[in-house]
Amino acid sequence: MKITSIHTVPVRTPMREPLVWPGGTRLSASGLLVEVHTDEGIVGIGEAPGPTLPTIRTIIDAELTQFLLGQDPLRTEWLVHRMEEFTRNWSRIGAYAISGIEIALLDLKGKALGVPVAELLGGFCRREVPVVGYLFIDEPEANARKAAAFVDAGYSELKLKVGRDFGQDHDTIAAIRDEVGSDVKIRIDANMIWSVPAAIKWIRGLEKFDLQYVEQPVPDFDVAGMATVRRAVGVPIAADEGCTDIRSALELIKADACDVFVVYPSEAGGLTRGREIAALAAAAGKWCAIGSWAELGAATMANAHLVAGSSNFPFASDTHYPLQELDVLTEPLEMSNGFISVTDAPGLGVDVDRDAVERLANIQVRESVFYDDIQGEAPRVGQIV
């Protein structure tokens, strides 16, 4: 079997409502759909979410395709290795493109061999993958109602964006606790917005709410600052923006800077590299959770296969999927009782709806969700002191 062509299509779906976080307001979710075609008619489906789809698409179409055409698609590790070598000087952005291709290659391999992707990643550790109920910055009463709706739907873990105003954060978490009780887990994410002193003060003020963990309280480049925060507070600390690949995970381990790695397969360069980060974390006594780039259905299911095939993802995965209006799959993913089911269907177990792809490819929304608030008031990284 040989690869004959690579097809890419950027797609975008509106959110059900604006999602406000420390760095801005998100109105839509986007992803680059990637298809790997072969001379035997088997097609692998992948998705590359990321910060700049035009750039990621150009990398695949103009740069990485040369390493794929005419190659055996089952040589996944070799093909990924060649692409990583080529993108060495610009590996951060290259990883998003490689991830979309690698997911498609694994989907293709699973179809060719008649096994689910989770089997290719080590075999099933679980069939049901828990996901979080995702909450953004809003009035305390509104977030309490949303939290209750998630819990009523079967979710047992919630994630809340915080960091703009301590009083609002405090009152929001208090309202959520009053509404859902003490058994539901609540994690918070500051998205790098605090300085080290602010992080310590803010977290200490919220510790009484029994937080599951706090994500990336300080800028991603401040590994020493993260370690200082971790030693000063009684809540586990998670590295999110600071944990992008194996090398950054090693630096976090060396500094003993966090308790949890938030793993993004799109940033790491694919599911295989994501699994390697999880294995590294396990060796160092750290836990893992999946982070979300607001993936559409294909990448959301790919992330679920990674969790299903690993023993070191004890926490519910991040996902924006229930907050999105539309998708490109023939059958939308079902998150029953706060879980995604991973079946024995070959590959990822999903199919693409061509009409939906065409519709979502023509949505022309362009927005900057990083530090570009609709009010023009979002603070810079580490600004709040």
Spatial strand order of the sheet with 24-38 comes to 3-21, 24-38, 43-48
Task: Quickly list DSSP for 13-38.
Answer: EEEEEEEEETTEEEEEEEEEEEEEEE
Using CA atoms, how far apart are residues 29 and 19, in angstroms rounded to an integer? 11
* Separation CA 62–CA 86 (nearest Å): 13
Q: Encoding tokens for residue 255?
A: 């500094």
Q: Which amino acid is at 157?
A: E
Burial 85-104 (b: 16+ CB within 10 A, else e): ebbeeebeebbbbbbbbbbb
Place of tokens 């998705």: 47
Eight-state DSSP code of residue 194: B
Given the structure tokens 């024995």, which residue do they identify? 344
Longest dimension (CA), the chain: 60
* CB 124, CB 342: distance < 8 Å: yes
DSSP string, 205-237: HHGGG--S-EE--S-TT-HHHHHHHHHH-SS-E
* Tokens read off for 163: 């960091």
Half-sphere exposure for 17 (CA within 13 Å, toward CB)? 9
Q: Average pLDDT per run of 10 along the chain, which is 385 residues long?
A: 98 92 87 97 96 94 98 98 97 97 98 98 97 97 98 97 96 98 97 97 98 98 98 98 96 98 97 97 97 96 98 97 96 93 97 95 67 47 52
Q: What is the rounded CA–CA span in Å between residue 177 and residue 154?
A: 16
- Which among 43, 58, 102, 17 has a CA at the least distance from the CA of 320? 17
- Residues 6+ away with beta carbon under 8 Å from 253: 280, 281, 284, 286
Supply 355's token pair. 């009409």
Residue 80: the pLDDT is 98
Per-residue confidence (pLDDT) for residue 22, from 0 to 100: 86
Rounded to whole angstroms, the Cα distance separating 128 from 151 reads 17
Cα–Cα distances (Å) from 326 to 166, 247, 322, in that order, read 34, 36, 10
Half-sphere exposure of 236 (CA within 13 A, CB side): 19
Name residues whose C-beta falls within 8 Å of residue 41's C-beta, 6 or more positions apart in sequence.
none
Whole-number pLDDT of residue 368 = 59
Which pair of structure tokens corresponds to residue 256? 């003993």
